[in-house]
Structure 1
Amino acid sequence: MGIFDKLFGSKIENQKLIEIDFTKNGIVLNGRNNQLPVKISILNEIFGEPEEVKTETNVLYIWQDKGIRGFSKDKENIFEVDIQLIQLGQNQFFPQQPFLGSLKIEGTDYKNFVKVSQNDYLFKEYKIGNSEIQVRLTKEEPKLIRSISIDIQEEEEELTQKEDYKLKKISGEKIEFKDFNFKLAIIEELMYNKELLKPKFDVYEFAEITKIKGFSATEGGYEPIPEVVEYFKELEIDKKFAEQVTEIYQDGGNEIYMNVTPQWDGEDDVFNIQSFEDIKHFPNLKKMTLFETDSKVIEELKSKGIEIKPL
């Protein structure tokens, strides 16, 4: 037996014994069916004692050597189970080791169930029965599955959004965007600078109305909030506004970024524009200040009569 096996072998072997299946009715643990919310005591029997981390709205239970997290509101029941598949380094809110057991979704290995493409953003969602499966992806290409969680959507929690935040179909022709980050830059200009798109989105108001889990004025928001990303993806922008856009200015302090990821530090490239094909929709766009951009792309944009300034 090598030194690695002596130090970590027993933990890895224990993890391999764990079999998890996310289903439309809840979660199957080592062949045992459990509905969500599931008793913490049941998880303790299988995973051992967790580390408890209190947040503003929930209590987070972390099984450090299993790669598993659970969220509770009453210290008795877990309403969401999160499986960490890639280690994220030292962070008090995430397990120290990744999950090494068997993970399935509806009886299918997660790698076969989840289809990841280059066009995916940072997460994917699946609805299976009463269960909501959320898959988080890495930022780098090729995108990898970072974690998978399961939550039960209870009817009483599906609250009606405030009328202002109900997405509406526009009467005119909508702009079809190729690049989501380009769309965010346009929303910054039309919603927050020119105030042509309404309502002016406020993440804290939106979170209170829609009851976003794990996010508040003092909690969460270090990564793009899935519910907010989905809102802006579905937001329709009328082509009549296109001629109003003469400039795009990307900056770490832009309101759009502070609403998508309130705690963003501007140190990564999550909001970098990858495709500039959407320029074709904006005939009066003549100036762009951009996050780090390839020199060839800059020259191509300049050739189209657009003044480019890398940030």
Structure 2
Amino acid sequence: MADLRQRPPQVTRAHSLPHLGCLTYSAENGLYAASIAAGSGTIGRALLSKNPGTLNWAEPSPVGYDGPPQTLCWADHSLWVGDPTNATRIELTDRGTCQDVKNWVLPEDGWSTKYHCGITTDSLGRVYFSNEWYKGQIYRGENDKVTKHTFSLNGYDHLSEAVPVPGTGRITMIHAVSGKGRMEECLLELDMDTGRCRIAPLPGMGEGLKLRWFTGDWLLVQGNGEILSDDFAQLINRNTREVLRIRPGMFGGEKMQHIGILTDGTVVIVTRRDRVGPVFRYPIDFWGFLRTANKPKKLEWREYKEVYPNLPIFLPPKATERKIILKKDSLTILGSVFAPPFTLSQLAEKLGPARIVLQNGTRKSPVTDRESPYTQALALWDELGLQGWLDEDEQTIKTLGVRVAAQGEYAVRQIFDGAVWIGFKDYREASWKDFAGFAHTLKLGGFTVYTRLPGPVPEEQSAQKAKLEALSAMVQISWKEPEKKAAKAQKYKLSKPTEPVLHFDTFNFKLAVMEVLMYEKGLLAPKLDAHEFAREYSRRKIDIDAEGYEPIPEIRKWLEKYQIPERLARSVTEIEMDGGSEIYTQLCPFWDGEDGAFDLNTITEAELRQFPNLKHITLMSSKPEQVLPILERCGIEVDLL
């Protein structure tokens, strides 16, 4: 045992625990698990320890295995253990002691004595295990019950190193496809409920890849290190798709063996030096070094049209090559943008002429229940997999369908060999709602979309299997002019003046004038109401209760910009300044009138001369000596508060 937090690592030798392997840690339970071959090595056991450095291990389960188990998987408060013929769940208490043990003996077959049971979990608390390597049947454990899963594994896929995608029922694992003269291993993301999946090539990685979670959003794909031209490992961020390569020679000329990360974020790299053995390296700026040592690279996901496990042996085409993209106000087909409503001539101009087909059928009346014949005109672009249903004018396309799979009977002859996106996601990952219990629908702007997401047909709907599978082969897009919402009131939107306006040098004097014209005489509109202003204001949320103890900046700015017509100046004959004036309670709703915020301590003769009929002011000022001379020169009587 080596404690890598110490430098050099603190080593404890354990002669009494031979063949200890598969060390794994559960942060949730604070426990380590490992496997061991007991006695002669033919019987294996699972072990638990709170601190492996003390060499104090306990056997939580009486179940013995065919050799040391090579699969250990944590799932909440349970440890799952697998050997070629068994899957065992060891349920633990909060204290880390054994509470219950359940064992499932897997069916024997030609492969089961050779390969260990693969076990993984998803982020929804479900456990999956399979008893063989080639096309193995998957079993699912959920709520203390194990059932046969709806689909099996594809080819040589294995669950032992699959990693759950956080917050979903999807897992990520290594999957092989046919490449240039050899099998190429890729990254496969699989939805365990629907069988929908996507794949990403891993160029430069070779074969024999191992996948595990590294830290945060990062996955680690590690190669076998046998071929020097292949990367030793690649770190992949599953959110940003950033790929950081770890190539031979980046950390010295020694052969790299392992890379790990400690709980404090310290990265440890293990290399092997001739005649020395393992060497532990602690990079100072691991992430920065990788980014400067590599060209920027992104993981390239490709979408499968097929549902797992019925996948082709070759990679699907690149998603960037051929796309149909639906947005709120447009539909883009292979780079050509079409705005609704769609017409036959509009599409034909960019996509070429359509094949027109008349389709006959019968329609049942919902009132009389009688059937009547009808004829439907279809516009078909076979090479694109597009089928348009024409309206009665035979020009407007009321619904446009994209054929995404081969099953079902449709007039359009081919399927679309590209990707269908809704917004910035593959259509299968969009936010769909259930429709009538057998299909899915969503709304995007004026568009309504219908399909059935691909996936296994539930047993209770098996009688309609062909119909339901056909629904998943077409994405139907209809458009209807959205109802226009009533324009939001813009009572406080200021317009440009169309007549001469008054000029103010002093904001507090302008407030005193607005009190007279807006609240006393009702000559200015709109009459400012702070709460109404806050509700209308859209750039941020104004919280009057929290902000009303100080002048509210947006209201002050509105008052500063407010233009008073010059013709109203003659209406101002007297100004009575008072701490309870309405204009102040709208600008600063909870002002207590004690801080002199609105005192008139400065004024200019120019702004006073604009008011020829102003003869008296009740003055609120903390520095009257600065304004009294100016008021007297303008012939204005003054009473001091």
For the superposition of Structure 1 and Structure 2, which TM-score range results when normalised by the shorter chain? 0.3 to 0.5
- Higher relative contact order, chain-length normalized (CA < 8 Å, sep 6+): 1
Q: Which has the higher strand share?
A: 2
Q: For the pair shown, which has the larger CA radius of gyration, 1 or 2?
A: 2
What TM-score, normalized to structure 2?
0.23
